[in-house]
Amino acid sequence: PHMSSIETTIIANRSNNRRSLIVYLNSGDPDIETTYDLIKLCDEHDVDLIELGVPFANSFTDGKAVLRSHERALNNGVTFEDVIHMVQKLRTECAIPIVLLADFSHSIKARGIEYAVKQCKESKIQGLLLHGLPPLYLKQYLEHTNTHGITPIFSLYPNTSQEKMLATLL
């Protein structure tokens, strides 16, 4: 199987005894133009990977600072499509690996997993993390990410059983 630029970067860093620097940015806070500029700045300063959030409300896994960031971005009206368009424009200037973090219920369910994965592919986003993905949709998510060459990224929580972790991997 082909390794993604995400895996290639992390493996190369490990073999060179170097840690990977991954920066989380929430799209649209304070505005989409600033998010664009921050990603370019990260690229210029050798950040290895961007985890790029699509804003959504009520994230039970985030702290107060990130929740406030989501709120500001949502108040700016930032949508999944706005984030995709920003990355498409960004790709004319830089190729920094990006993992898109999108909430399943807020951003993906109504649009469909296949649509979301195709949008990632078209904008050269390398990875997709679907927050709150119900197990029912796991097979579909893996099929579409595999078909379109997008690296699926998963969240594991402290109370995730080893059985569930292994089931996700197999």
Residues marked active site are found at 51, 62
2-29 burial, b for 16+ CB within 10 Å, e for fewer? eebbbeebbeeeeeeeeeeebbebbbbb
CA–CA distance, 61 with 131 (Å, rounded to integer): 9
Tell me the C-alpha distance between 103 and 107, whole Å: 6
Paired strand residues for 5: none
Do the beta carbons of residue 125 and residue 151 sit within 8 Å?
no
Ordered DSSP codes for 89-104? HHTTT----EEEEEEI
